[in-house]
Amino acid sequence: MTAAVKVAVLDYNAGNVRSARRAFAEVGTDARITADAGDAADCDVLVVPGVGHFSSCLANLRRSGLHDVLGQWVQQQRPVFGICVGMQLLYSASEEGDEPGLGLLPGKVVRFPTTAVVPHLGWNVVQATPGHAQDALVAGVDRRRCYFTHSYYAVPDDATHVVATSTYGDANFPCLVREGSVVGTQFHPEKSGRVGMRLLENWVTQLRED
Protein backbone atom coordinates (compact mmCIF):
# COMPACT_ATOMS: atom_id res chain seq x y z
CA MET A 1 0.00 0.00 0.00
CA THR A 2 1.33 3.44 -0.92
CA ALA A 3 1.90 5.67 2.13
CA ALA A 4 -0.35 8.71 2.35
CA VAL A 5 1.13 12.03 1.26
CA LYS A 6 2.01 13.99 4.41
CA VAL A 7 0.70 17.55 4.20
CA ALA A 8 1.70 20.37 6.55
CA VAL A 9 -0.85 23.19 6.61
CA LEU A 10 1.18 26.10 7.94
CA ASP A 11 -0.35 27.92 10.90
CA TYR A 12 1.08 31.44 11.04
CA ASN A 13 -2.04 33.25 12.33
CA ALA A 14 -3.33 33.89 8.82
CA GLY A 15 -6.63 32.03 9.23
CA ASN A 16 -8.31 29.34 7.16
CA VAL A 17 -6.08 26.54 8.44
CA ARG A 18 -8.79 24.14 9.66
CA SER A 19 -10.85 24.16 6.48
CA ALA A 20 -7.68 23.72 4.40
CA ARG A 21 -6.61 20.75 6.53
CA ARG A 22 -10.05 19.12 6.19
CA ALA A 23 -10.00 19.54 2.42
CA PHE A 24 -6.59 17.92 2.00
CA ALA A 25 -7.59 15.12 4.37
CA GLU A 26 -10.72 14.49 2.29
CA VAL A 27 -8.60 13.79 -0.80
CA GLY A 28 -6.66 11.08 1.00
CA THR A 29 -3.62 12.83 2.44
CA ASP A 30 -2.27 12.73 5.98
CA ALA A 31 -2.92 16.43 6.62
CA ARG A 32 -1.94 18.22 9.81
CA ILE A 33 -1.82 21.82 11.04
CA THR A 34 1.55 22.96 12.33
CA ALA A 35 3.31 26.12 13.43
CA ASP A 36 6.58 24.24 14.00
CA ALA A 37 9.28 24.49 11.34
CA GLY A 38 10.76 21.12 12.26
CA ASP A 39 7.42 19.36 12.02
CA ALA A 40 6.74 21.01 8.66
CA ALA A 41 10.12 19.88 7.34
CA ASP A 42 9.19 16.24 8.01
CA CYS A 43 6.19 16.41 5.64
CA ASP A 44 5.93 15.93 1.87
CA VAL A 45 3.90 19.04 1.05
CA LEU A 46 3.63 22.54 2.49
CA VAL A 47 0.27 24.33 2.22
CA VAL A 48 0.24 28.11 2.71
CA PRO A 49 -3.34 29.17 3.50
CA GLY A 50 -4.16 32.82 3.95
CA VAL A 51 -6.98 35.17 4.86
CA GLY A 52 -6.04 38.72 5.76
CA HIS A 53 -3.61 41.52 4.97
CA PHE A 54 -0.60 40.72 2.75
CA SER A 55 2.04 42.47 4.87
CA SER A 56 0.66 41.22 8.19
CA CYS A 57 0.60 37.65 6.89
CA LEU A 58 4.19 37.91 5.68
CA ALA A 59 5.39 39.40 8.96
CA ASN A 60 3.72 36.53 10.85
CA LEU A 61 5.24 33.99 8.47
CA ARG A 62 8.73 35.38 9.00
CA ARG A 63 8.36 35.55 12.78
CA SER A 64 7.21 31.93 12.86
CA GLY A 65 10.37 30.64 11.14
CA LEU A 66 8.22 28.98 8.48
CA HIS A 67 9.46 31.53 5.91
CA ASP A 68 12.90 29.87 5.90
CA VAL A 69 11.36 26.40 5.53
CA LEU A 70 9.44 27.58 2.46
CA GLY A 71 12.57 28.99 0.85
CA GLN A 72 14.50 25.77 1.41
CA TRP A 73 11.54 23.73 0.17
CA VAL A 74 11.37 25.53 -3.16
CA GLN A 75 15.16 25.34 -3.63
CA GLN A 76 14.82 21.57 -3.23
CA GLN A 77 11.89 21.55 -5.72
CA ARG A 78 9.51 20.11 -3.14
CA PRO A 79 5.73 20.75 -3.43
CA VAL A 80 4.14 23.96 -2.12
CA PHE A 81 0.45 24.91 -2.45
CA GLY A 82 -0.66 28.52 -1.74
CA ILE A 83 -4.31 29.49 -1.24
CA CYS A 84 -5.74 33.03 -1.70
CA VAL A 85 -3.42 35.41 0.20
CA GLY A 86 -1.18 32.36 0.60
CA MET A 87 -0.81 32.39 -3.20
CA GLN A 88 -0.22 36.16 -3.28
CA LEU A 89 2.62 35.83 -0.75
CA LEU A 90 4.51 33.76 -3.33
CA TYR A 91 5.00 36.87 -5.51
CA SER A 92 7.63 39.57 -5.01
CA ALA A 93 5.50 42.46 -3.76
CA SER A 94 1.96 43.73 -3.22
CA GLU A 95 0.20 47.08 -3.20
CA GLU A 96 -1.33 45.86 0.07
CA GLY A 97 1.56 47.04 2.26
CA ASP A 98 5.32 47.43 2.04
CA GLU A 99 6.45 44.00 3.24
CA PRO A 100 8.41 42.23 0.45
CA GLY A 101 6.87 39.01 -0.82
CA LEU A 102 8.56 35.62 -0.99
CA GLY A 103 9.59 36.06 -4.63
CA LEU A 104 8.87 32.42 -5.51
CA LEU A 105 6.71 33.43 -8.48
CA PRO A 106 7.57 36.21 -10.98
CA GLY A 107 5.33 39.27 -10.60
CA LYS A 108 3.49 41.48 -8.15
CA VAL A 109 0.03 41.84 -6.59
CA VAL A 110 -2.22 44.86 -7.28
CA ARG A 111 -5.63 46.09 -6.16
CA PHE A 112 -8.65 45.75 -8.46
CA PRO A 113 -9.37 48.92 -10.47
CA THR A 114 -11.62 51.52 -8.85
CA THR A 115 -14.31 50.55 -11.38
CA ALA A 116 -14.74 47.21 -9.57
CA VAL A 117 -16.58 46.73 -6.28
CA VAL A 118 -14.28 45.03 -3.78
CA PRO A 119 -13.94 42.52 -2.45
CA HIS A 120 -14.54 40.19 -5.37
CA LEU A 121 -16.78 37.87 -3.40
CA GLY A 122 -18.56 34.72 -4.49
CA TRP A 123 -18.50 32.21 -7.34
CA ASN A 124 -16.73 32.83 -10.62
CA VAL A 125 -15.60 30.84 -13.64
CA VAL A 126 -12.12 29.33 -13.82
CA GLN A 127 -10.87 29.32 -17.44
CA ALA A 128 -7.78 27.41 -18.54
CA THR A 129 -5.29 29.52 -20.45
CA PRO A 130 -4.36 28.60 -24.06
CA GLY A 131 -2.24 25.50 -23.99
CA HIS A 132 -3.50 24.32 -20.59
CA ALA A 133 -7.00 23.08 -21.45
CA GLN A 134 -5.70 19.50 -21.52
CA ASP A 135 -3.58 19.93 -18.39
CA ALA A 136 -4.43 17.18 -15.90
CA LEU A 137 -4.43 19.78 -13.11
CA VAL A 138 -7.61 21.42 -14.47
CA ALA A 139 -9.48 18.24 -15.45
CA GLY A 140 -13.04 18.71 -14.21
CA VAL A 141 -12.22 22.29 -13.16
CA ASP A 142 -11.85 24.20 -16.44
CA ARG A 143 -14.91 26.43 -17.13
CA ARG A 144 -16.42 25.56 -13.76
CA ARG A 145 -17.14 27.95 -10.90
CA CYS A 146 -15.02 28.28 -7.76
CA TYR A 147 -15.33 30.49 -4.70
CA PHE A 148 -13.38 33.76 -4.42
CA THR A 149 -12.98 36.45 -1.77
CA HIS A 150 -10.24 39.01 -2.44
CA SER A 151 -9.53 42.64 -3.30
CA TYR A 152 -6.10 42.13 -4.87
CA TYR A 153 -4.82 39.93 -7.67
CA ALA A 154 -1.51 38.85 -9.22
CA VAL A 155 0.05 40.50 -12.24
CA PRO A 156 2.76 38.10 -13.49
CA ASP A 157 6.03 39.18 -15.10
CA ASP A 158 5.95 35.93 -17.06
CA ALA A 159 2.50 34.58 -17.92
CA THR A 160 3.78 31.12 -18.81
CA HIS A 161 3.19 29.96 -15.22
CA VAL A 162 -0.52 30.89 -15.36
CA VAL A 163 -2.65 27.75 -15.76
CA ALA A 164 -6.09 29.42 -15.49
CA THR A 165 -7.62 32.86 -15.17
CA SER A 166 -10.87 34.43 -14.05
CA THR A 167 -12.45 37.77 -14.90
CA TYR A 168 -13.89 40.38 -12.57
CA GLY A 169 -14.76 43.87 -13.75
CA ASP A 170 -12.09 44.96 -16.21
CA ALA A 171 -9.47 42.56 -14.83
CA ASN A 172 -8.61 39.15 -16.24
CA PHE A 173 -6.41 37.76 -13.50
CA PRO A 174 -4.50 34.55 -12.69
CA CYS A 175 -6.52 32.24 -10.46
CA LEU A 176 -4.44 29.07 -10.82
CA VAL A 177 -0.66 29.19 -11.23
CA ARG A 178 2.18 26.71 -11.29
CA GLU A 179 5.93 27.26 -11.42
CA GLY A 180 8.07 24.19 -10.89
CA SER A 181 6.97 22.59 -7.63
CA VAL A 182 4.87 25.61 -6.59
CA VAL A 183 1.09 25.77 -7.20
CA GLY A 184 -1.25 28.56 -6.11
CA THR A 185 -4.96 29.30 -6.31
CA GLN A 186 -6.56 32.72 -5.90
CA PHE A 187 -9.87 30.98 -5.22
CA HIS A 188 -10.50 28.78 -2.19
CA PRO A 189 -10.60 25.12 -3.31
CA GLU A 190 -11.64 24.11 0.21
CA LYS A 191 -14.77 26.29 -0.15
CA SER A 192 -15.50 25.45 -3.79
CA GLY A 193 -17.43 22.23 -3.27
CA ARG A 194 -16.88 19.31 -5.61
CA VAL A 195 -14.92 21.38 -8.14
CA GLY A 196 -12.42 22.47 -5.52
CA MET A 197 -12.01 18.91 -4.29
CA ARG A 198 -11.41 17.77 -7.87
CA LEU A 199 -8.55 20.25 -8.21
CA LEU A 200 -6.92 18.98 -5.01
CA GLU A 201 -7.44 15.37 -6.13
CA ASN A 202 -5.79 16.18 -9.47
CA TRP A 203 -2.78 17.72 -7.75
CA VAL A 204 -2.35 14.95 -5.18
CA THR A 205 -2.61 12.35 -7.96
CA GLN A 206 0.20 14.11 -9.83
CA LEU A 207 2.31 14.11 -6.65
CA ARG A 208 1.84 10.37 -6.25
CA GLU A 209 2.72 9.74 -9.90
CA ASP A 210 5.89 11.83 -9.57
Catalytic residue numbers, as ranges? 84, 188, 190
CB 154 within 8 A of CB 111: no
Query: Residue 146: CB partners within 8 Å, gap ≥ 6?
Result: 123, 124, 126, 166, 175, 185, 187, 188, 189, 192, 195, 196, 199
Residue type, 20: A
Decide the pairing of beta strands 30-34 and 6-10: parallel
d(CA 132, CA 134): 5
Residue 2 CB neighbours (<10 A): 6
